[in-house]
Every structure is written in C-alpha cells, then in structure tokens.
Chain A
Amino acid sequence: MRETLDMMDFVYAAYAICLIGTLALAGWSFASMRAAERRREESRRK
C-alpha cells in the first residue's frame, strides 16, 4: 500500500511554525526592550 500525503498540510505547518516563531521573537524582543528602558527610567527617578 502506498501512503498518500497532502503536501499542503506540511506547507501550512512549516509556515505556521516559522511565522509564529518569528512574530513571537519580534514581539518579545520589543516588549523586553520597553520593559528594560522603563526600569532604567524608574531607577533614575528613585
């Protein structure tokens, strides 16, 4: 018996992982940068 695979399922999975991973990385980097800069401003005021 030959296994038949729908190629598009694999394409969707690869794109989902790469796009979610990249967006999460960009979002986390930006949020952690803003948080660190806020901490620096607070340390200036304390």
Chain B
Amino acid sequence: MHGYANPARFLKIARWFTMPLLVGGLLVTAAALVWGWTTAPPDRLMGDSVKILFVHLPAAWLGMGGWTAIAIASLVELVWRHPLAAISARAVAVPGAVFAFLCLASGSIWGRPTWGTWWVWDGRLTSMLVLLFLYLGYMALTNALAREGSSSRIAAIFGLVGAINVPIINRSVVWWNSLHQPPSITMGNSAIDPIYLYPLLASVLGFSLLFGGVVFARMRAILADAQAEARLRRKAQKAELAQATAGEA
C-alpha cells in the first residue's frame, strides 16, 4: 500500500484513469438510464414513478459509500500516516455531498406522488439529511485546516466519528416506523424484479465509475494546488533571502 503513497507515482496512475472513468461512467449511466426507461413497466403500486429508482438508489448508495470511504481513508491516515489518505478523503467529500443531496432531492420528489408528502421527519430521511450536514461540516473543516496549514488529524477524527451515521441510515427503516420501504436489496438477496434490478445495477455501476473519475480529478486538483503553492512559497523565500544578502553587501 505504501508503494502508492508517493504522489508522483499516484499522479501517473491517476492520469491514466481519470478520463476513462469519467467518460465510461457517463456512457454506462446513459445506457443504463435508457435501458431502465424503455424496458421497466409501471409498478403496481408506484406506477411510472418507479423509474425514479434508477437515479435515486445510486445517489443514496454513493452518498453513504462516500462517507464510508472518508472513514476508511481517515483510519489509514491516523494509523499508517499514508500521505495520500487525507487528500483522498478531502476529494471524496464533494461528490459524496452532491450525491447525498441528489438522493434527498429525488427522494422528496418521489415521496410526493407515492406518500402524498414531500418530506417526513422519520429515521431514514432525517439520518440522510444529517449525512449531508456532516459532509458540509467536513468540507468546511478540511478547507479551514488546509488554509491554515494545520494537521488534518482533526478532520480524520471527524471522518471516523461521523461514520456512526452510515449504519444508522442503513438500519433506520428496520429500527423505526417509516414511510420509506424496508431494504429491497440485502447481501446476496433482492426483492426487486429482474426487469428493474438489472438496469438498476447497470445504473449503479455507471454512477460509481463517474464517482471514481470525480474523486481522481479532485485528488489531482488538490495535489496540483499544493505543489504550486509550495513552489511559489520556496521561490518567494529564495527571493527574500537574495534581497537580504544583497542588502548586507
């Protein structure tokens, strides 16, 4: 694992993967959505609104998966001091927050025709909203720490503590009464008909590839900014030193 800790080596790999992941993700997502849109029949209870499943569920999984990735990267940073762990956690925060927001927005739109309401303060919706706030707090904290040049260990602790919300979101529909349906897909099991399930899995794959591409692009941007800033600081210090030496002479 430490073999990839070298930013130069990582950048070489990231340059290869960023564009294929972004373009591949866009193509697979587009194909999956067309597939689902054209083949999925209206559901007996939800009617045509069942098509929202193909965008809502990938957004929900990636919103939760994003924080799981932040927690793993935070643990790696705290235990092994891997230099890219903090950067990868920072890079995941923006797409994670966007997908958490898209999950809430599409879920709210889906709720109106199926539940008769845009929003209820039940366990699932509230814990997902908490996840979005955790993302916003994490981004504010990491940006502030990066600006001040402080250690990212506080953000790593925040990332680990916030992970407690992920299993709460997952189990919320089992623990509390909710308008939200219980889990349809569990480990190795699915209550979803294959006519919905296969385009849904393709959509999850497409959005996940896009998520990966965005994370690589964010990591490259963070690394490039850090390298440019360090170089400019070194040059400014050299210029100051040269000026001071010339003044003494």
Contacts and interface: CB of A to CB of B under 8 A. Distances in A.
Nearest to A37: B224
Interface string B213-224: 110011011101
Contacts of A35: 221
Contacts of B94: 25, 29
Interface in B209-237: 210, 213-214, 217-218, 220-222, 224-225, 227-228, 231-232, 235
B225 A36 contact: yes
Nearest to A24: B98
Interface in B185-207: 207
A32 B214 CA distance: 11
Interface string A10-41: 11011101110110011001101101110110
Contacts of A36: 220-222, 224-225, 228
Q: Which of B29, B101, B106 has the most CB of A within 10 A?
A: B106
Nearest to A42: B228
A43 B228 contact: yes
B214 A26 contact: yes
Q: By DSSP majority rule, is chain A's interface helix, strand, loop, or mixed?
A: helix
A33 B102 contact: no
Contacts of A26: 22, 25-26, 210, 213-214
B105 interface: yes
B41 interface: no
A7 B40 CA distance: 15
A1 interface: no
A43 B235 CA distance: 9
B98 A5 contact: no
Interface of B: 18, 22, 25-26, 29, 33, 42, 46-49, 51-52, 55-56, 59, 94-95, 98, 101-102, 105-106, 109-110, 112-113, 207, 210, 213-214, 217-218, 220-222, 224-225, 227-228, 231-232, 235
Interface of A: 5, 7-8, 10-11, 13-15, 17-19, 21-22, 25-26, 29-30, 32-33, 35-37, 39-40, 42-44, 46
19 contacts: A7-B46, A10-B109, A10-B112, A10-B113, A11-B52, A14-B106, A14-B109, A14-B110, A17-B106, A18-B102, A21-B101, A22-B207, A25-B95, A25-B214, A26-B25, A32-B218, A37-B220, A37-B224, A40-B231
Given A7-B46, A25-B98, 5 more contacts: A10-B113, A30-B18, A37-B221, A42-B228, A43-B227
